Amino acid sequence: MSSVLDQLVNKPYEHGFRTDIETESAPKGLSEDTIRMISGKKNEPEWLLEFRLKAYRHWLTMEEPHWPNVKYPKIDFQDIIYFSAPKPKKKLSMDEVDPELLRTFEKLGVPMNERAALAGVAVDVIFDSVSVATTYKEKLAKVGIIFCSISEAVRDHPELIKKYLGSVVPPGDNYYAALNSAVFTDGSFVFIPKGVKCPMELSTYFRINTEESGQFERTLIVAEERATVSYLEGCTAPKFDTNQLHAAVVELVALDNADIKYSTVQNWYAGDENGLGGIFNFVTKRGLCQGANSKISWTQVETGSAITWKYPSCVLLGDNSIGEFYSVALTNHMQQADTGTKMIHLGKNTRSTIISKGISAGRSNNSYRGLVKIGAKAAGARNYSQCDSMLIGQKCSANTFPYIQVNNPTATVEHEATTSKIGEDQLFYFRQRGIGAEEAVSMIINGFCKEVFQQLPMEFAVEATKLLGLKLEGSVG
Amino acid sequence: MKNEQGRAILEVRGLTANVAGVPILKGMDLTVREGEIHAIMGPNGSGKSTFAKVLAGHPAYEITGGTVRFEGKDLLGIEPEERARAGIFLGFQYPVEIPGVSNSAFLRLAYNTVQGARGKEELDPLEFDDFIREKMKLLDMDPAFLERSVNEGFSGGEKKRNEILQLATLEPKLSILDETDSGLDIDALRVVANGVNSLLRPDNAFVLVTHYQRLLNYIVPDYVHVMEGGRLIKTGGKELALELESRGYDWVVEEDRANTSGRAAAAATTAA
């Protein structure tokens, strides 16, 4: 009976190819020597090596978190390659980028060539451990915006990195953040100076290519007073039977009246129908609304990864600051997701909105976990949370774990949750009106996710709509 | 009754069907010709709704025997969406809600899909808006309907009116209305009935599945059939509905039982 739905969810992963490119990889394993090697390869200053080693030593004393509602075999951290870079490692201008790499990203639909680029989107491209290209750098520099890889930023803007790196997610914050702080290889750095409105969308595209390599990128975005920026992140990986670890850290800092919008379309390889292979996506993302009237908005569309463990959060320190979290998490087959957000209200009249849409198909498990915390001084704080789950088929599950801590009597906190199901009758209704099952599912899902998709920049919204359609092909019945 | 020279749209012969292994339809026979309105009445559990859903191709039912021809072609071998595009419309007893999908987007996709399949012109959003507003006038519907999510938060009457709006939009050859009158107050019933009456043309047809006679005060059928035990046991004109209203169904069932045993006896005699 579930045949129509089944066919619909089981569309093959489109980005599963592997680029045959010569890479330079570190040997497997993690030790202080590995860290010194990574730091040395990147010619890092002493303080950064110290930052890494301190994080590593702290990590050694920590334990993997066991509270998420996910199951996976123990990760052998000595069986991972911590550094892998396409040769030549030397940073090249756009015209000199290895044509094989250009072709890879073309195939993925990521414009690396500025002339052919999507109008108005600047891209930083990360391949395994290194940034291979950043577009529109010069144009952005004219208005004072810094957009480059974190390695370059360490070299060219050490004072900014020193000031902000680890300021929102301290190296010892959690197990995977500590690991990332020890071994992060590359990532993007964005700095929007006072009063500047970033004239285009900024975006980073992450690609894991090497089997058995981990990706540990670090993203840091700083928006000074009255600055605004919209940033997008996309990710894919080839199909491997082994699991790869992706443990990223993203830090956002918004000063007075600044506005940061961070959007993610995550399509890491999810493993096959039986749960073999796929990415372990253990990510720490946090934004600090440091200034008064600042705003940080997270939008995420999570469709890939064997396991997703991530809680993009907002610390609302500045008075009247605003935090938002809009999320669509889709799981199929054997995928597991434990994702949500934390809204920490510290300043007065701070406001937060959480809209979470979980879609589970196949035998997957999809959990929303969210914390709303109102501090003692956060007078007049308000939160509204809405968590909706949709089930497709009989064998999947959805859970909601809301945590609410209120320490100020003037706060208002609202939480709503619903669960629905795409069933045969809903599909039959569409089909009786002449609309095919595939289109019907896509329409139902898009209707369900509407409030989140509306938050995405235009091109990404189209992309996300298509992506969900592909992911769900064959899952209806 | 009408003359029987009109072109047959639907021909059902000896149709049997199961749901979850239990036989529900046990030998349905029905012919519907262009320009006709048929009413299928019968007690609860007689298989009326099943028959409607089977014609539309609901996947929960297993066809175990018989044939259905629609405009001369086999109907049972094709998918529900193909049947819809070919011109079969089912007005649902319980229309589903589709959160986040606007009525206008849904109607336009359905309309354009069906038009495309029939080799006719599709409409862009602006053209469609004009088109649909005309149809809504017919049903006395507020244009604000278009922006609401399909059936979400609609009252029973609004849902049924929405079904008739879809019918008016898709211009089917054969419309099967499954208990469209249930849950309607008298005003809504009149609006729905007026809609149906105005949509009847010489080249289309309606099958009304209903439990009560009152809908037939507004829509006058050419034929009234009584369904019981998964087949039609009596067929008459519109006056049969009134008779059923006053006398109930039992006498028809009795009469059928007598006929059946009579036929069985006759058959036994012949065999001997």
Contact B195, B139 (CB under 8 A): yes
Cβ-defined contact of B101 to A444 (cutoff 8 Å): yes
Residue A431: which of B80, B92, B98 has the nearest Cβ?
Answer: B80
Instruction: Compute the nearest-CA separation of B170 from chain A (Å).
Output: 8
The answer, for A454 touching chain B at a CB cutoff of 8 Å, is no
Contact A235, A182 (CB under 8 A): no
User: What are the chain B neighbours of A468 within 8 Å (beta carbons)?
Assistant: none
Average pLDDT, chain B: 91
Cβ-defined contact of A435 to B98 (cutoff 8 Å): no
Helices A175-183 and A46-60, axial angle in degrees (round to 10):
150
Q: In whole angstroms, what is the distance from residue A246 CA to residue A140 CA?
A: 29
Contact A449, A389 (CB under 8 A): no
CATH 3.40.50.300 for domain B8-97+171-271, yes or no, is yes
User: What are the chain B neighbours of A8 within 8 Å (beta carbons)?
Assistant: none
Cβ-defined contact of B96 to A425 (cutoff 8 Å): yes
Q: pLDDT digit string (tens) for A47-75?
A: 999 999 999 999 999 998 888 888 888 88
Instruction: Compute the nearest-CA separation of A225 from chain B (Å).
Output: 37
Q: In whole angstroms, what is the distance from residue B260 CA to residue B251 CA?
A: 14
The answer, for A441 touching chain B at a CB cutoff of 8 Å, is no
User: What are the chain A neighbours of B105 within 8 Å (beta carbons)?
Assistant: 443
Instruction: Compute the nearest-CA separation of A432 from chain B (Å).
Output: 5
Most A CBs within 10 A among B101, B112, B132, hence the mutation to make, goes to: B101
User: What are the chain B neighbours of A425 within 8 Å (beta carbons)?
Assistant: 96
Cβ-defined contact of B81 to A444 (cutoff 8 Å): no
Q: pLDDT digit string (tens) for B36-81?
A: 999 999 988 999 999 999 999 999 999 999 999 999 999 999 999 9
Strand segments (E) across chain B: 8-19, 22-33, 37-41, 61-70, 73-74, 88-91, 98-102, 149-150, 174-178, 205-210, 223-228, 231-236
Percentage of chain A modeled with pLDDT above 90: 43
Confidence (pTM): 0.80
Residue A426: which of B83, B96, B100 has the nearest Cβ?
Answer: B96
Cβ-defined contact of B84 to A431 (cutoff 8 Å): yes
Residue of B nearest to A431 (CA): B81
Q: Is the pLDDT of residue A76 over 90?
A: no
The answer, for A437 touching chain B at a CB cutoff of 8 Å, is yes
Q: pLDDT digit string (tens) for A362-394?
A: 888 899 999 999 999 999 999 999 999 999 888
Most B CBs within 10 A among A389, A427, A435, A438, hence the mutation to make, goes to: A435
pLDDT for A209 equals 63
**By mean pLDDT, which of A119-133, A182-196, B109-123, B126-140 is the weakest?**
A119-133
Q: Is the pLDDT of residue B252 over 70?
A: yes
The rounded radius of gyration (Å) of the Cα atoms in chain B is 19
The answer, for A116 touching chain B at a CB cutoff of 8 Å, is no
| Mean pLDDT on A399-423 | 91
User: What are the chain B neighbours of A429 within 8 Å (beta carbons)?
Assistant: 92, 95-96, 98
User: What are the chain B neighbours of A444 within 8 Å (beta carbons)?
Assistant: 98, 101
Q: In whole angstroms, what is the distance from residue A164 CA to residue A186 CA?
A: 16
Q: Which two tokens stand for residue A264?
A: 């993610």
Q: In whole angstroms, what is the distance from residue B119 CA to residue B256 CA?
A: 46
pLDDT for A208 equals 64
Q: Is the pLDDT of residue A119 over 50?
A: no
Identify residue A202 by its one-letter amino acid code: L
Q: Is the pLDDT of residue B258 over 50?
A: yes
CA A193 to chain centre: 24
Residue A435: which of B92, B95, B110 has the nearest Cβ?
Answer: B110
Dihedrals phi, psi of B169, to nearest 5 degrees: -70, -40
Q: In whole angstroms, what is the distance from residue A137 CA to residue A463 CA?
A: 25
Cβ-defined contact of B100 to A446 (cutoff 8 Å): yes
Cβ-defined contact of B98 to A436 (cutoff 8 Å): no
Q: Is the pLDDT of residue A112 over 80?
A: no
Contact A260, A231 (CB under 8 A): yes
User: What are the chain A neighbours of B57 within 8 Å (beta carbons)?
Assistant: 431-432
Most confident of A64-73, A451-460, B1-10, B109-118: B109-118
